[in-house]
Amino acid sequence: MWLCFHCLVNRFLFLVVGSLFGCLFVVIFLRLLREDEEFRFAVMGLLGITDVQSSIRQLVSAVGELTKTVQRLAEGQDRLWQEVRALREDQNKLWQENNKIWQEIKALRESQDAMRTDINRLWEENNKLWQEVKALREGYEALRTDVNKLWEENNKIWQEVRRIDENIERLWQENSKIWQEIRRLSENQERLWQEFRAFREEQGRFNRWMLSALVEIRDSLGGAYEYYTAHWIERWLEVRGINCDVRVNVTIPVDGSREIDAICYDPLVIGEATIKVFSIDEAEREVGKLLENARAAEKFFNRRVYALVLAVETAPEQVAEYLRRRASELGIVLVLGREYS
């Protein structure tokens, strides 16, 4: 069909070319094709393409169906992409879970390695313990041998103890005889103690007589009142729970030298003793002397004075009253003997 069409066209063109009006005919022919529908269909019938419209309609319908199919495919592809994204998210989660699992596996492996290390250490310790047990067993065997030897020695000792018991029995018999002798000696000793007590009482009476005689001698020599003052200070301190050996006529190297009638070193007690004070001036001098001795003693011994004692054997009533007032003012302990008017 297409070959006949070409032949027709060729002939037509041959005729047209041969004509002067060929060009004009072509223009008219094309115009008719554009404007005249029947002419156009006639030409199409001559060309054998009368079913083109139906084919185009079928093609358009097929294209429409294909477009719908493509749309459905696009929608399905969108759903597939959504599924793919969901699968990717699940895959990422799976990768994360997988990483966690690998980390857990790694931690388990590390823990397993640590457990293996501990197990190896335990095996080493176990081997050491077995070695210790072996050594203990060897020591136990040696100890058992020593114990057996000790039992043998113990049996020998018990035999010796039995012999000693026999000797002790004999010693108890001898001891009983000795105790009988001791009782006789104790009775004799009791008689000796009674004689000794009688002798000590007699000696005490003699010592008291001798002390009284010495006191009388000291009185006659003029130095007894310092000893009396020292003895009074000792008793005064004993009442306060203090024991002190009071010294008499002690010289200390302060301001040249100073002589203190009676002194206790710990606690520091200074005493001044005089037989008679006739006037207030003499009383003031005795008080001043006691205060100066106290300052010198504090300087020498580097401690505070615990007490000041002024002992006066006799004084007129007026002087005695003055001494009481001054002792109260200065915190002096006044030991006053006889007062006379």
Please tell me the pTM assigned to this model. 0.37
Query: What CA–CA distance (Å, rounded) separates 8 from 12?
Result: 6
Q: Which residues of the chain have pLDDT under 50?
A: 1-3, 16, 207, 210-211, 213-215, 217-222
Contact 309, 228 (CB under 8 A): no
For the purposes of burial, counting CB atoms within 10 Å of the CB of 314, is it exposed (0-12), middle (13-18) or buried (19 or more)?
Answer: middle
User: Nearest-CA neighbor of 297 among 243, 235, 337, 254?
Assistant: 254
DSSP output for 136-147? HHHHHHHHHHHH
Residues 6 or more apart whose Cβ sits within 8 Å of residue 218: 224, 227
Instruction: Give pairs for 242-251: CB < 8 Å, separation 24+.
Output: 242/267, 244/269, 246/271, 249/223
The pLDDT value given to residue 214: 43
Strand partners, 312: 274, 336
The alpha carbon torsion through 231, 235, 236, 239 (nearest 10 deg) reads 170
**Which pLDDT belongs to residue 215?**
46
Q: In the prediction, which pLDDT does 11 show?
A: 55
Q: Which domains does the chain have, with CATH numbers?
A: 223-340 (3.40.1350.10)
Structure confidence at residue 19 (pLDDT): 53
Count of all residues that appear for the chain in the document: 341
Task: Please tell me whether residue 20 adopts helix, strand or coil conformation.
Answer: coil
pLDDT score recorded for residue 57? 61
Tokens 């966690």 locate to: 100
Q: How many CB atoms lie within 10 A of CB 227?
A: 18
